[in-house]
Amino acid sequence: MKSILKQAAVAVAALGFAAGALAQGFPSKPVQMVVPFTAGGPTDTVARSLAVAMGKHLGQSVVVENVGGAGGTVGAGRVKNAQPDGYSILLHHIGMSTAPTLYRKLAYNPQTDFETLGLVVDVPMTLIARSDFPAENFADFLKYVKANNTKLNLANAGIGAASHLCGLLFMSAIETDITTVPFKGTADVLNALLAKQVDFTCDQTTNTTSQIQAHVADKSKGVKVYGVTSAKRVATLPSVPTLQELGMKGFEVGVWHGAYAPKGTPKAAIDKLVAAMQAAVKDPEFVKRMTDLGAAIYTADKITPTAHAAHLKSEIERWAPIIKKAGAYAD
C-alpha cells in the first residue's frame, strides 16, 4: 500500500513539474483571446487593439475569436471550460459582474471559475438618439421621454449587454418605464438607430464617437447625443456634458473591461500574460486608438489579478440590487 501511495505521489509531482516546465516556456504558440460578443462591437474593438499590442510583447500572435450569444455568457463559458494552460483567455466587460444576478442558471461563477488577469480600459457610455429626435437638449429630451414613454422604444444589445444595464439605470433614475427593444449586438442597435427604426439607446464611446461627430457636421446624419455617463467629460467629445452635470446625480456607468484565464492556469503563464497586458497599455498605437475612442486606460496598479478580483467583487455587489429592483432576469 505504501509503495502504491509513493508511486502516486511521484506521479503527481512529475505532472506538477511538467506543467511548470511548460508554463516556463509559455507561449510557444499563438494565444486565443475570446470576445463573447459579435465582431465590430465596442468590446471587439478594444480586444483587437489589445491583442496586437500584447502579441508584440509575448512574441506570439494573440488571435481574437468572437463567440457571441446570451449576453456574453456563451463565450465566457467556452473559456471557463478551456484547457488551463494560458493559451485561452477571455476579454469581457462589465457584464461579467452582472451575469450572476441576471441569469438564474449561469454555467459558471465569475469569481471562482476564472483567474483574473487585470483591468484594461474603462469606456464611458453616451445617451444617444436618432438624428431627427424632437429634443435638442437634455432637459427637453427628459421632458419628451416622460410625456411619450408609451410611444418610444429604448434599444439595447440584449440582456446583460452594457446598453441594457445603462438603460435599466436610466429608467430607474427618471422613474419611468419605456418599451425596450433587444438586438443581437451593438452594431445592429446602431444600424437601427441610424435607420430611424428605434428612438434612443446607451452605447459606448468606442462605438458612437464617429456617429456623434458626423451629426455635428451634418444634422441629417449620425446620431444626436444628450450626455455621457462618465464622472468627467470625454476628451474626444468636450462639448458633451456628463449626465451628472445635467442633474442626474450619481448616474455613472463606466464599461470596464478585464481579461481572464481558466481557473488553474499556471502562475508562470499568468505572470507573462499580465506583463504583456501592462506593456500593451503603454503601446503608442494602443494608447492612440483608445484615446481617440474616449476610453480611459487603467494604470499599472489596476492591471493585476488582485486589483481586478477586488473590482469584480465590488461591481457584482453594486449591480445586484439594481437588477433585482428592475426584475430583469434571463434563464
Q: What spatial distance separates the first Cα and last Cα of the chain, rounded to whole Å?
A: 49
Out of 10-14, 248-252, 314-318, which region has the weakest mean confidence (pLDDT)? 10-14
Distances, alpha carbon 257 to alpha carbons 13, 130, 213, in Å: 37, 27, 25
Mean pLDDT over 112-137 rounds to 97
For every residue of 222-270, DSSP letters joined together read SEEEEEE-SSS--TTSTTSPBTTTTT-TT---EEEEEEEEETT--HHHH
Cα–Cα distance for residue pair 73/96, rounded to 1 Å: 8
Distances, alpha carbon 261 to alpha carbons 200, 230, 255, 292, 310, in Å: 36, 28, 20, 28, 16
pLDDT of 15 higher than 60: no
Q: Residue 250: what pLDDT?
A: 86
pLDDT interval class at 23 (50, 70, 90): low
pLDDT interval class at 71 (50, 70, 90): confident
pLDDT interval class at 7 (50, 70, 90): low
Per DSSP bridges, beta strands 179-182 and 31-35 are unpaired
In residues, how long is the chain? 331
Contact 262, 84 (CB under 8 A): yes
Model confidence, pTM:
0.83
Distances, alpha carbon 5 to alpha carbons 1, 10, 15, 17, 18, in Å: 6, 9, 15, 18, 20
Q: Residue 67: what pLDDT?
A: 95
Q: Residue 330: what pLDDT?
A: 65
Helix (H) or strand (E) holding 284: helix 284-292
Mean pLDDT over 111-128 rounds to 97
Per DSSP bridges, beta strands 179-182 and 223-228 are unpaired
Cα–Cα distance for residue pair 148/142, rounded to 1 Å: 10
pLDDT interval class at 6 (50, 70, 90): low
Mean pLDDT over 174-191 rounds to 92
- Residue 92's DSSP bridge partners are 258
Cα–Cα distance for residue pair 64/75, rounded to 1 Å: 12
pLDDT of 14 higher than 70: no
DSSP classification of residue 297? E
Mean pLDDT over 283-295 rounds to 93
Per-residue pLDDT tens for 183-239?
988 889 999 999 999 999 999 998 899 999 999 999 999 999 999 999 899 988 999
Mean pLDDT over 165-169 rounds to 90
Residues 6 or more apart from 199 whose CB is under 8 A from it?
Answer: 129, 130, 133, 152, 153, 154, 155
Helix (H) or strand (E) holding 319: helix 305-326
Out of 16-20, 52-56, 170-174, 302-306, which region has the weakest mean confidence (pLDDT)? 16-20
CA atoms in the 13 A half-sphere facing the CB of 315: 25
